[in-house]
Amino acid sequence: MALPDLIEIVPLPGPVHAHITVPGSKSITNRALILAALAEGDTTLTGALWSEDTQIMVGALQTMGFGVKVAEDPAESANRTITVQGQGGRIPKTPEDLFVGNAGTAARFLAALVCLGDGLVKLHGIDRMHERPQGELFQALRALGYTVDAPNDKLPATIHGTGPRAAACTVSLQESSQFASALLLAADVGGWQIGLGEAKLAEAPYVQMTQELIAEFPKVGGTFAIEPDASSGSYFWGVNTFAEGVEVSHWPLTGWQVDAQFTRFLSPPREVSRQTDLGDSIMTAITLAPLQDRPTSFTDLGRLRVQECERVTALRTELTKCGARITEEGDTLHVEPSPELHGAEIDTYNDHRMAMCFALLGLKVPGMRLRDPACVKKTFPNFFQKLAAAPPAGLGATIRDAAGRGLAGEDLFAA
């Protein structure tokens, strides 16, 4: 049975004593898949996330002729053990097209990877992916000597792969740090020198992650462990703002993920920056902010506008529905304490993080109903199962369909 189109989250009755596991990091998994394909010999990724975004990446690599074997992970149903047969920098096959869905990492990382092959590849995705920025990356690839045909410098795009070439470019981090990460992942094989202009690495934690991952990754095959996804962990750590007793397994993490520091923001300071403090988990902090006893300003949110949905407007709109006192000023959201919060029917905008943020709020605020909850399959397909599972493996939350029937088990898996 598929997850219903509309579900209701029932508030937790009291404290919860739970020790939750969350799936592997999407950011690390998709980076590791590219590095494994470019390595020499077989690389086995353990604890790798198995969700819509990573399945798209695996499918693309297989279409490009890389051997990829996927095995179940008995410890976490949304993880897999993935073995990639690296070709030492060679691209085995040039497909006519690659579909990237709405996976930003796949769209950006594959755009650089196919340049190392020989021939034309069309990259395309869903309509929202065709709206998301790609221009800085395409301009950088052109500066390296590759031809990229793209209307308005967005997808769909046709990229002419001509193999490695010694060249240099500079890429901006203003719209997305994924552009720099895409180039860096392929740079050693490509013979590229990548400059970041005036960007400060201290303000680009995902680029730092890429650099550190490249340095640590086995170049001639072996095993590489993917750590849990810090932003996915934020939804469960966030429960402790109103019902103490929840821990997320395998914490603290390496520090590669900026969201590993989310626990420091359970009681946020008066200002939190998307640029220097938190990554995707800033959405979790924004959603919980109306429950705090002091106002908080969330700044530098511009990149949230060009992701799976226009997240700044979406957060303001849906929190306002719930009675939150929230205002938008430029790329800042100001959130006041909002004791009058109430439930509402939440539009998730086909955005996995919107669904998970408001599900978390529903564990405290009665009457929270989510449209299209299955969008969590993008990064966390068993998220609602974790909410409903009995402690200590889950929160024991009650989740109902539109008719008021309780849901459990496979009914809550977003396939």
Per-residue pLDDT reduced to its tens digit, 114-162: 999 999 999 999 999 999 999 999 999 999 999 999 989 999 999 999 9
Write down the mean pLDDT value for the chain.
96
Q: How sure is the predictor about 202, in pLDDT bands with cuts at 50, 70 and 90?
A: low
Range(s) within the chain of domains with CATH label 3.65.10.10: 6-22+228-412, 26-225
- Please give the Cα distance from 14 to 243 (Å, whole number): 6
- Please give the Cα distance from 284 to 297 (Å, whole number): 14
Cβ neighbours of residue 144 closer than 8 Å, sequence gap 6 or more: 115, 165, 167, 168, 169, 190, 192
Q: How sure is the predictor about 253, in pLDDT bands with cuts at 50, 70 and 90?
A: confident
293 as an active site residue: the answer is no
The backbone torsions φ and ψ at residue 281, rounded to the nearest 5 degrees and listed phi first, read -70, -5
Look at residue 266 and tell me whether its pLDDT is greater than 90: yes
- Please give the Cα distance from 76 to 64 (Å, whole number): 28
Report the candidate in 173, 150, 171, 170 with the shortest Cα–Cα distance to residue 160: 150
Q: What is the pLDDT of residue 365?
A: 98
Catalytic residue among 53, 73, 229, 280, which? Answer: 280
User: 48 pairs with which residues across the strands?
Assistant: 80
User: 346 pairs with which residues across the strands?
Assistant: 370
Report the candidate in 38, 31, 17 with the shortest Cα–Cα distance to residue 85: 38
68-77, 83-92, 245-254: which range is least confident on average? 245-254
Q: What is the pLDDT of residue 175?
A: 85
206-210 mean pLDDT: 94
287-293 mean pLDDT: 97
Q: How sure is the predictor about 173, in pLDDT bands with cuts at 50, 70 and 90?
A: confident
What CATH number does the domain located at 6-22+228-412 have?
3.65.10.10
Do 301 and 333 meet the contact criterion of CB atoms below 8 Å apart?
yes
Do 217 and 37 meet the contact criterion of CB atoms below 8 Å apart?
no
The backbone torsions φ and ψ at residue 27, rounded to the nearest 5 degrees and listed phi first, read -60, -45
Q: How sure is the predictor about 203, in pLDDT bands with cuts at 50, 70 and 90?
A: confident
3-state secondary structure the chain: CCCCCEEEECCCCCCCCEEECCCECHHHHHHHHHHHHHCEEEEEEEEEECCHHHHHHHHHHHHCCCEEEEEECCCCCCEEEEEEEEECCCCCCCCCEEECCCCHHHHHHHHHHHHHCEEEEEEECCHHHHHCCCHHHHHHHHHCCCEEECHHHCCCEEEEEECCCCEEEECCCCCCCHHHHHHHHHHHHHCEEEECCCCCHHHCHHHHHHHHHHHHCCCCCEEEECCECHHHHHHHHHHHHCCCCEEECCCCCCCCCHHHHHHHHCCCCCEEECCCCCCCCHHHHHHHHHHCCCCEEEECCHHHHHCCCCHHHHHHHHHHHCCCEEEEECCEEEEECCCCCCCCEECCCCCHHHHHHHHHHHCCCCCEEEECHHHHHHCCCCHHHHHHCCCCCCCCCCEEECCCCECCHHHHCCC
316-324 mean pLDDT: 98
Q: How sure is the predictor about 262, in pLDDT bands with cuts at 50, 70 and 90?
A: very high
Residues 210, 211, 215, 219, Cα dihedral to 10°: 50
Give me the sign of the Cα torsion angle 294, 288, 389, 343: positive
For domain 26-225, give its CATH number from 3.65.10.10, 3.40.50.2300, 3.30.70.1060, 3.90.850.10: 3.65.10.10
Do 45 and 84 meet the contact criterion of CB atoms below 8 Å apart?
yes
35-57 mean pLDDT: 98
Pairs from 210-219 (Cβ < 8 Å, separation ≥ 24): 210/31, 210/180, 210/181, 210/184, 210/185, 211/184, 212/256, 213/28, 213/31, 213/32, 213/35, 213/256, 214/35, 214/184, 214/185, 214/188, 217/32, 217/35, 217/36, 217/39, 218/39, 218/43, 219/39, 219/40
Return the higher-pLDDT residue of 178 and 255.
178
